[in-house]
Amino acid sequence: MSKFYVNSLENCELGNIPPTDFSGQPLHRHQLCVSKAALLRGIVILVLFNLCLVAFVYLLHFYVNTLPEDQRNNVNTVFCSVGALLLCITLIKLGDFSKNNPNFYYI
């Protein structure tokens, strides 16, 4: 019978047993848990994703500036409204509403 009532991953996270690799050897404290190729691929994907976001915002800004004045005002109004709605949702999620404590704590 196992002396732990949870699986080995949960025991490792709780600090009950040291982390081990597949051969059963304990891992060093600062040893990489993923391969360098996977880490490099993740970094490249993250950078490309951010470049795509920046390019999308730039093209959207360029498109909005080519619109006539009245349509540009309507589009800017929609963007500001959506941004304010997202900001309100984010601030509510950051708030501490536990135990009737309606205070906002910001980092």
pLDDT, tens only, 67-107: 999 999 999 999 999 999 998 888 777 766 555 666 655 54
Residue 73 has which token pair?
Answer: 């005002």
Residue 32 has which token pair?
Answer: 């990489």
What is the Cα–Cα distance from 20 to 31, expressed in whole angstroms? 11
pLDDT of residue 35: 74
What is the Cα–Cα distance from 74 to 98, expressed in whole angstroms? 39
Instruction: Return the higher-pLDDT residue of 61 and 16.
Output: 61
In which element (H, E) is residue 104 found? strand 103-104
Domain boundaries, the chain: 68-107
Is this prediction's pTM over 0.75?
no
pLDDT of residue 26: 58
pLDDT of residue 93: 76
CA distances from residue 2 to 5, 18, 24, 71 in whole angstroms, order as listed: 7, 17, 18, 69
What is the Cα–Cα distance from 28 to 79, expressed in whole angstroms? 49
User: Which amino acid does the sequence have at 86?
Assistant: L
pLDDT, tens only, 46-74: 999 999 999 999 999 999 999 999 999 99
Give the pLDDT mean for 28-41. Answer: 70
pLDDT of residue 71: 94
Asked if 77 and 85 count as a contact pair (C-beta separation under 8 A), the reply is: no
